[in-house]
Chains A and B, each alone.
Chain A
Amino acid sequence: MTPVLEFLNVSRSFMKGVPVLDGVSFSMAEGEVVGLLGRNGAGKTTLIHIAMGLLSTHSGSVRVFGVSPFDDPVAVKRRVGFVSEEQVLPPRSTIAELIAFHRYLFGRWDDALERQLLDRFALSPSSRIHRLSKGQARQAALLCAVCHRPELLLLDEPAGGLDPVARREFLETSIQLLNREGTAILFSSHQMGDVERIGGRIVLLDEGKVRIDRDLDRIREDVCVAMIPRASAPDAAAFESLPGCLRVRAVFDDWHVVVEGDPDAVRGQLMVLSPANSIRCVRVPLEELFIELVGGER
């Protein structure tokens, strides 16, 4: 079956010698929800723009529904919904005009869903975009992005800058409503809470590469963090060769080693390498894990 979205060794840089994306590869199947995580500048927005055909790759390829978004951008965009934090809707337009324009462009339009979302978000069709709050404007953008029933929804920091209530409302609507219909969703976020609530699969970008790509449940169950006193093991190289080791970093007086596996089993393996009694090995919440994987040394 053709993946809905597929990145193959995608590289892109904005300055010579400083790649934003460096050989990124992953794919998404129909109906899959993928959270794209990463620090600022990790390449999340760049990757989504590439999927939309708005930025070219320097090497590698991208396929949306088996088609390059650069070869047939109109056909691809007709099947995709796109909401971005940076998106600026035409400020003088009313919501009704915006909807009419989208209806004209996409042909296919779900009137029932449009009414449902207008009610749910309490948006008046006669409101002008520049009179809406940030959250309402984002909701209007979401409405326009989903009412043509896209097969793939790309959300680039969609809830960025929204208050917690608007944020939850926005995400629950977009994810629940669409994924129920089999729409594949790729959303980027800094907020671990959003990612945990939505579930699905996580792709973690770090320094332009995919550091982790797996189901959220598997990450929770299979990945743990070991803390080893640096005094007992001055060299980190031994830990890096540990099977399933994802990252080693120095944090004050400890080594923090992120490893795949059961905490007890991992602790046993580490005891062989560094026979210190004070080795601790624990499963950590997703936010902690994110920091362990992409955070700097301290």
Chain B
Amino acid sequence: MIYQLIRRDQAWKATPWLALVSAVVWACPPPIGPFGAFVAMMGLFTGMPHRRATRFEAGLPIEARDLLLARTLSLMALVWIPALSGAAGIVVVSGFSALAAKPLAVGGLCALMAAVAQTAWLKELAGPQWILYPPLFFLPVAGPLMADHPVPLVPPLCALAGVGLFVWAWVAVPRSFQLSRSSSQSFAQVIE
């Protein structure tokens, strides 16, 4: 079931393309290189991390937990595969160095933001769109900063917080997601 859901997920479908772009952009020398953080952020938005299921999926006999797990895995793939490919791009061009930690630090931030968006308004099909806006302002500042001064502890701390949020959501998720005003808006449908 999880595989069936993941392979239909928009985030999963976008992952190979984002990984390719990420590898190329991170491998470029400055001033292009720091745009890797921007690419990661845009990739995250493409995956619509505030959405746990589409209305179409909500009408089908699928456990809410399966939907949540599939969505989380798709989003983590969308964040971490491009981050790893970005690091690989740096290694290929510049060899092993501390620079390769940059995409991983940005990936850690993106993963945490995806986890926060996934766990907000957990009873509903999707959280409100505005939950995407704070990262929109935060990442352009924090992303390049992290890229220039990567703190080794950031990825593991973000990963730990993300896992904690997911475990909480796994326990608290209802058996069926509810439609809501936010999920009935057309944004998700337009993109979907």
Contacts and interface: CB of A to CB of B under 8 A. Distances in A.
A52 B178 CA distance: 10
B60 A54 contact: no
B60 A105 contact: yes
B134 interface: no
B149 interface: no
A293 B176 CA distance: 36
Contacts of A70: 175-176
Contacts, number: 61
B59 A14 contact: no
Interface in A65-90: 69-78, 82, 84, 86-90
A88 B175 contact: no
A27 interface: no
Interface in B148-192: 175-179, 181, 184, 189, 192
B177 to A, nearest CB: 8
A88 B56 contact: yes
Contacts of A76: 61
Given A88-B189, A90-B8, A74 B63 contact: yes
Nearest to B123: A56
A13 to B, nearest CB: 13
A92 B178 CA distance: 25
A87 B181 contact: no
A87 B192 CA distance: 11
A49 B179 contact: yes
A80 to B, nearest CB: 9
Contacts of A285: none
A92 B14 CA distance: 13
Contact of A54 (B4, B58, B62): B58
A74 B56 contact: no
A102 B13 CA distance: 20
A73 B175 contact: yes
Contact of A104 (B4, B178, B189): B4
Given A93-B8, A104-B4, A105-B62, A73 B56 contact: no
Interface residues of B, number: 22
A166 to B, nearest CB: 21
A88 B61 contact: no
Interface string A90-122: 111100000001101110000000000000000
A90 B56 contact: yes
B59 to A, nearest CB: 5
B176 A54 contact: yes
A53 interface: yes
B176 A73 contact: yes
B192 to A, nearest CB: 6
A70 B61 CA distance: 12
A193 to B, nearest CB: 27
A105 B60 CA distance: 8
B46 interface: no
Contacts of B179: 49, 54-55
B129 interface: no
A91 B59 contact: no
A99 to B, nearest CB: 13
Nearest to A73: B176
A52 B59 contact: yes
B174 to A, nearest CB: 8
A78 B61 contact: yes
Contacts of A53: 176
B176 A69 contact: yes
Interface string B76-116: 00000000000000000000000000000000000000000
Contacts of B184: 86
A54 B56 CA distance: 11
A74 B57 CA distance: 12
Contacts of A92: 13
B61 A86 contact: no
A74 B58 CA distance: 10
4 closest residue pairs by CB, A with B: A73-B176, A77-B61, A78-B61, A74-B61
Interface of B: 4, 8, 13, 54-56, 58-64, 175-179, 181, 184, 189, 192
30 contacts: A14-B181, A54-B58, A54-B179, A56-B178, A69-B176, A71-B175, A73-B64, A73-B175, A73-B176, A74-B62, A74-B63, A76-B61, A77-B59, A77-B61, A82-B59, A84-B55, A84-B59, A86-B55, A86-B184, A88-B56, A89-B56, A90-B54, A90-B56, A91-B192, A92-B13, A93-B8, A101-B4, A101-B8, A105-B62, A106-B61
